[in-house]
């Protein structure tokens, strides 16, 4: 397309006239000849004018890039469909133009809910990095903290203090990938399945959201979005190496055709680990196919698989950590801990816009987890999980006001077969007799409804309600720890009924600013392990547990104070009832779960972004959380006897009061760029008695990279990076698990080491 055609297309598609004028003048400055004897002066003036126009164009292009990212976020909200591409009428009669595609995107049936705290990590915050884990990018957002668990990418995610109270995985946060729900029906998610290098963006919605997303959305949701075939447009290869034997190799193949977009990713990652007995190897495959059947119908197919083989060190006491933080832990059990896990998902989503105002979508997902883990007890477990849902969305003119309606029903079924065996602790992880055998299932069924009404062009009120019935059934046969003979049987047959509301009001005076207030609810039910593990950490009944619930109140604002300065401020207050708290037991036998009757979480989130110069971005994210037990009688073992202890007024453990992230990034038009990041994490308690803390830490990371299109034969894209993490080699805790006060502080095995000073480098090549 030549300059004139592009200009005419721009005007016809409502691209701002300022951009068209700038590009037109740039073209004139390049083709107009110099005149008479003042030619050199005129030429210099034109060149100077060109530089000025280039700068203005860069600023406006960056603005349009952000708009495009926001639109893509709307397109990829969980359980989204093709409505945003096919609907022709624009909400509030406004068109949004995407520069690089020259297409009009309708928001008439858009799926991103209004009145919610939302942020997005874009590709430029993920690319040109080691792509080891998501801590590199997610902690740049307010309200979010990640903690190291048992594997290279196995981190917990905490949002506003919820989600990091267990010793493994992600709980109390719902996780999606490309809109598919990858949180299993027992509430557990693991980030082993998601590879950062595959991702285009990450969307985070903060605050209780069970009315929208169901069980376990107590703190919010995270939606990982993989790159499309059109983003790859050929073949990409990625190689990264670094400290402690780290190696990563990845390949992406993608292409967009007339009616299909296809992308396939493969990666392999291995390393010796920075702590004793922490070698790892993991391979991940992810395939996505988007089909446009016709103007009304689309189908999205997704498949992913992860194989993980990792050695896991034992958590350390405070004295062990201070003496030798890189050790695997003491005793024979320290050297026979490992995970060999497999995870496979296959899913599909069909959407049909049956009328310009009505859309129907159907989705299904098969999710199978097959794990073999050796800790204090050896665990063999298989958990196939099937999920299906149907949704109807409609836009209606309600007395002259746009009304967006959504109704959906869903059904989930998870089956588990688990055997726990005695770990001989012989340094080889040898198994002996079974300690228990467990068979069980979880059935979740429910519905969600939501209405969003534009009371005026700048005011939107939204109300939603979710209902869910959970039926958990499990039978467990317990054997003697040493004898192997049947000692007891435990079973649970629990039914939980939960209702969650969601009401918000949003004022959006323009495209950049919005202010909202929201009241929302969340809930989470106990899982198999919660109900069948006794306070000793060994198999046994724990049937008195209740489901946990919370009510979230928040007030927020997001404003553009200047064309180059964006600011977000949110205040929140969460009231928690019967919070499920997991506590580790000394000796590595396991952990058990108890209810904390009442607690409150309140705080603020602040985010700011400033572009003082072209290519230079300063950003900051700060979170403050004050979490207290308001009514909690803890039970600990004293001389083997259960003893009640009042915890009212104590800080809720595993919640950092203050978290601050500051980042300075610069990218030049030549392709050279880099960033400098400082993160400060406050100390936090790891026990209910508030006598033991994980220490505070200030960590500095530095990155230098180069990315540019090239014409080197088959090579069309070249990227390279060098990154230094923990520049000043601070020794600190990357994780502190909640430990029961049945154990003396000196014996509490709570801490894992965070990565020390590490250097990484890598190259990406785009081929064909």
- Of 20-29, 56-65, 525-534, least confident by mean pLDDT is 20-29
The yes-or-no verdict on residue 499 having pLDDT over 80 is yes
The pLDDT of residue 91 is 36
Report the pLDDT averaged over residues 253-279: 96
Q: Which residues pair with 565 in a beta bridge?
A: 562, 610
Query: Whose CA is closest to 332, among 419, 420, 421, 430?
Result: 430
Report the share of the chain in percent with pLDDT over 90: 70
Q: CA 315, CA 427: separation in Å to the nearest integer? A: 16
The yes-or-no verdict on residue 331 having pLDDT over 90 is no
Query: Whose CA is closest to 317, among 648, 632, 694?
Result: 694
Query: Whose CA is closest to 206, among 592, 547, 605?
Result: 605
Q: CA 172, CA 526: separation in Å to the nearest integer? A: 11
Tokens, residue 602: 């309140």
Are 402 and 453 in contact, with CB atoms under 8 Å apart? yes
Tokens, residue 54: 């280039």
Distance of CA 645 to the CA centre of its chain: 36
Report the share of the chain in percent with pLDDT over 70: 84
Q: CA 768, CA 764: separation in Å to the nearest integer? A: 13
- Of 7-21, 163-177, 592-606, 620-634, least confident by mean pLDDT is 7-21
Phi, psi values for residue 388, rounded to 5° = -145, 150
Are 315 and 301 in contact, with CB atoms under 8 Å apart? no
Tokens, residue 433: 């007799």
Tokens, residue 510: 């323009």
The pLDDT of residue 55 is 58
Tokens, residue 155: 């981190």
Report the pLDDT averaged over residues 337-351: 96
Indicate the burial class of 349 (C-beta count within 10 angstroms; 0-12, 13-18, 19 or more).
Answer: buried
- Which helix (DSSP H) or strand (DSSP E) does residue 502 occupy? strand 486-507
Residue 37 CB contacts under 8 Å (≥ 6 apart), including other chains: none
Q: CA 623, CA 602: separation in Å to the nearest integer? A: 11
Q: What is the three-class DSSP state of 692?
A: coil
The pLDDT of residue 642 is 76
Tokens, residue 125: 């915050």
Tokens, residue 301: 């197919």
Q: What is the three-class DSSP state of 91?
A: helix
The size of the chain, in residues, is 768
- Which helix (DSSP H) or strand (DSSP E) does residue 62 occupy? helix 39-75
Report the pLDDT averaged over residues 463-467: 98
Tokens, residue 367: 């999710």
pLDDT in tens, 377-395: 889 999 999 999 999 999 9
Report the pLDDT averaged over residues 209-215: 96
Domains (ranges, CATH) in the chain?
Answer: 174-767 (2.40.170.20)
Query: Whose CA is closest to 693, among 375, 323, 334, 322?
Result: 322
For every residue of 323-340, DSSP letters joined together read H-TTS--SSGGGGS-EEE
The pLDDT of residue 481 is 73
Q: Is beta strand 431-456 parallel, antiparallel or unpaired with respect to 401-423?
A: antiparallel
Report the pLDDT averaged over residues 301-312: 97
The pLDDT of residue 61 is 63
Classify residue 125 by its DSSP letter: G
Query: Whose CA is closest to 659, among 620, 701, 629?
Result: 620
Distances (CA, A) of 721 to 90, 674, 756: 42, 9, 20
Q: How far apart are the first and last CA of the chain?
A: 22
The pLDDT of residue 109 is 57
Band the pLDDT of 56: cuts 50, 70, 90.
low
Q: CA 768, CA 584: separation in Å to the nearest integer? A: 52
Query: Whose CA is closest to 549, among 184, 167, 164, 162?
Result: 162
Report the pLDDT averaged over residues 623-640: 90
Residue 404 CB contacts under 8 Å (≥ 6 apart), including other chains: 109, 110, 393, 394, 395, 451, 452, 453
Question: Residue 45: which region, alpha, beta or left (left: phi > 0; alpha: psi -120 to 50)?
Answer: alpha
- Confirm whether pTM is higher than 0.75: yes
Band the pLDDT of 639: cuts 50, 70, 90.
confident
Residue 77 CB contacts under 8 Å (≥ 6 apart), including other chains: 111, 112, 113, 179, 203, 223
Placement of tokens 């007030």 in the chain: 555
The yes-or-no verdict on residue 411 having pLDDT over 50 is yes
For every residue of 583-647, DSSP letters joined together read EEETTTTEEEEEEEEEEEEEEEEEEEEEEEETTEEEEEEEEEEEEEEEE-EEEEEETTEEEEEE-
Are 318 and 692 in contact, with CB atoms under 8 Å apart? yes
The yes-or-no verdict on residue 232 having pLDDT over 80 is yes
Tokens, residue 545: 């547990």
- Which helix (DSSP H) or strand (DSSP E) does residue 708 occupy? strand 697-712
pLDDT in tens, 352-364: 999 999 999 999 9
Report the pLDDT averaged over residues 518-539: 87
The pLDDT of residue 69 is 57
- Bigger pLDDT: 450 or 423? 450
Q: Which range among 107-111, 258-262, 534-538 has the greatest average pLDDT?
A: 258-262
Q: CA 134, CA 153: separation in Å to the nearest integer? A: 8
Q: CA 106, CA 393: separation in Å to the nearest integer? A: 14
Torsion on CA atoms 672, 675, 676, 679, rounded to nearest 10: -160
pLDDT in tens, 578-600: 999 877 665 545 678 889 999 99
Distance of CA 754 to the CA centre of its chain: 20
Phi, psi values for residue 342, rounded to 5° = -135, 140
Query: Whose CA is closest to 418, among 456, 383, 460?
Result: 383
Indicate the burial class of 279 (C-beta count within 10 angstroms; 0-12, 13-18, 19 or more).
Answer: middle
Q: What number of helices (H) and strands (E) belong to the chain?
A: 9, 37
Report the pLDDT averaged over residues 632-638: 85
pLDDT in tens, 77-120: 555 443 343 333 333 333 333 333 333 333 455 568 899 999 99
The yes-or-no verdict on residue 47 having pLDDT over 90 is no
Q: What is the mean pLDDT of the chain?
A: 86
Query: Whose CA is closest to 340, among 367, 362, 315, 310?
Result: 310
Are 446 and 405 in contact, with CB atoms under 8 Å apart? no
Q: CA 358, CA 701: separation in Å to the nearest integer? A: 49
Q: What is the three-class DSSP state of 757?
A: coil
pLDDT in tens, 646-686: 999 999 999 999 999 999 999 999 999 999 999 999 999 99
- Bigger pLDDT: 605 or 421? 605
Q: At what angle do helices 17-31 and 3-12 cross, to 10 degrees?
A: 170
What is the Cα Rg of the chain in Å?
27
Band the pLDDT of 18: cuts 50, 70, 90.
very low
Band the pLDDT of 298: cuts 50, 70, 90.
very high
The pLDDT of residue 12 is 40
Report the pLDDT averaged over residues 178-184: 96
Band the pLDDT of 532: cuts 50, 70, 90.
confident
Q: What is the three-class DSSP state of 487?
A: strand
The pLDDT of residue 111 is 64
Q: CA 290, CA 253: separation in Å to the nearest integer? A: 14
The pLDDT of residue 14 is 41
The yes-or-no verdict on residue 40 having pLDDT over 60 is no
Are 522 and 500 in contact, with CB atoms under 8 Å apart? yes
Q: Which residues pair with 672 in a beta bridge?
A: 706
């Amino acid at each position: 397309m030549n300059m004139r055609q592009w200009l005419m297309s721009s005007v016809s598609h409502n691209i701002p006239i300022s951009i068209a004028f700038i590009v037109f003048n740039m073209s004139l400055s390049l083709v107009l000849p110099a005149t008479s004897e003042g030619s050199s002066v005129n030429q210099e003036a034109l060149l100077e004018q060109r530089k000025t126009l280039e700068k203005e164009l860069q600023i406006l292009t960056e603005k349009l890039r952000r708009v495009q990212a926001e639109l893509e976020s709307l397109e990829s909200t969980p359980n989204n469909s093709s409505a945003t591409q096919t609907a022709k009428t624009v909400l509030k009669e406004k068109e949004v133009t995407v520069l690089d595609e020259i297409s009009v995107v309708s928001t008439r049936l858009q799926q991103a809910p209004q009145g919610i705290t939302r942020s997005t990590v874009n590709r430029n915050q993920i690319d040109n990095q080691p792509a080891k884990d998501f801590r590199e990018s997610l902690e740049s957002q307010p309200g979010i903290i990640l903690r190291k668990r048992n594997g290279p990418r196995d981190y917990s995610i905490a949002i506003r203090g919820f989600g990091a109270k267990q010793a493994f995985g992600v709980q109390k946060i719902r996780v999606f990938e490309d809109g598919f729900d990858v949180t299993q029906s027992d509430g557990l998610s693991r980030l082993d399945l998601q590879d950062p290098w595959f991702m285009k963006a990450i969307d985070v919605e903060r605050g209780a959201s069970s009315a929208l997303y169901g069980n376990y959305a107590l703190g919010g949701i995270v939606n990982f979005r993989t790159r499309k075939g059109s983003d790859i447009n050929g073949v990409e290869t990625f190689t990264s190496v670094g400290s402690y034997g780290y190696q990563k190799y990845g390949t992406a193949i993608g292409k967009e055709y007339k009616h299909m977009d296809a992308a396939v990713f493969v990666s392999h990652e291995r390393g010796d680990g920075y702590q004793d007995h922490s070698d790892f190897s993991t391979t991940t495959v992810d395939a996505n196919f988007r089909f446009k059947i016709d103007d009304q119908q689309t189908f999205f197919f997704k498949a992913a698989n992860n194989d993980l083989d990792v050695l896991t060190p034992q958590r350390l006491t405070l004295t062990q950590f201070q003496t030798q933080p890189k050790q695997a832990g003491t005793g024979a059990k320290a050297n026979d801990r490992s995970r060999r896990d497999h995870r496979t998902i296959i899913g599909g989503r069909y959407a049909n816009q049956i009328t310009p105002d009505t859309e129907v979508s159907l989705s299904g997902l098969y999710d199978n987890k097959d794990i073999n883990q050796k800790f204090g007890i050896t665990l063999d477990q298989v958990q196939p999980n099937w999920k299906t849902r149907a949704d109807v969305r409609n836009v209606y003119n309600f007395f002259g006001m746009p009304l967006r309606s959504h109704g959906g029903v869903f059904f989930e079924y998870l089956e588990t077969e688990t055997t726990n065996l005695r770990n001989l602790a012989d340094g080889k992880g040898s198994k002996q007799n079974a300690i228990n055998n467990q068979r069980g299932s979880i059935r979740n069924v429910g519905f969600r409804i939501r209405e969003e009404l534009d009371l005026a062009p700048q005011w939107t009120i939204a109300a939603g309600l979710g209902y869910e019935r959970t039926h958990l059934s499990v039978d467990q046969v317990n054997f003697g720890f040493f004898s192997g003979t049947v000692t007891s049987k435990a079973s649970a047959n629990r039914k939980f009924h939960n209702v969650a509301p969601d009401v918000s009001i949003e004022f959006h005076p323009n495209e950049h600013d919005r202010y909202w207030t929201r009241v929302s609810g969340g809930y989470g039910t106990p899982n198999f392990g919660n109900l069948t593990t006794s306070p000793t950490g060994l198999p046994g009944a724990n049937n008195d547990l209740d489901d946990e619930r919370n009510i979230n109140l928040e007030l927020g604002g997001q404003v553009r104070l200047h064309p180059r300065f964006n600011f977000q401020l949110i205040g929140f207050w969460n009231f928690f009832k019967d919070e499920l708290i997991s506590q580790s037991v000394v000796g590595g036998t396991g952990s058990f779960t108890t209810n904390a009757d009442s607690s409150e979480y309140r705080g603020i989130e602040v985010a700011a972004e400033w572009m003082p110069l072209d290519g230079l971005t300063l950003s900051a994210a700060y979170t403050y959380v004050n979490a207290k037990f308001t009514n909690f009688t803890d039970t600990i073992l004293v001389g083997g006897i259960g003893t009640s202890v009042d915890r009212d007024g104590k800080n809720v453990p595993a919640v950092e009061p203050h978290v601050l992230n500051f980042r300075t990034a610069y990218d030049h038009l030549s392709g050279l760029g880099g960033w400098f990041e400082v993160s400060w994490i406050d100390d936090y308690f790891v026990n209910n008695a508030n006598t033991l803390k994980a220490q505070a830490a200030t960590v500095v990371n530095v990155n230098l990279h180069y990315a540019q299109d090239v014409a080197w034969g088959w090579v069309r894209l070249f990227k390279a990076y060098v990154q230094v993490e923990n520049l000043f080699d601070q020794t600190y805790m990357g994780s502190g698990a909640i430990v029961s006060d049945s154990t003396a502080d000196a014996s509490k095995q709570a801490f894992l080491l965070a990565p020390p000073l590490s250097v990484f480098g890598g190259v990406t090549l785009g081929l064909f």
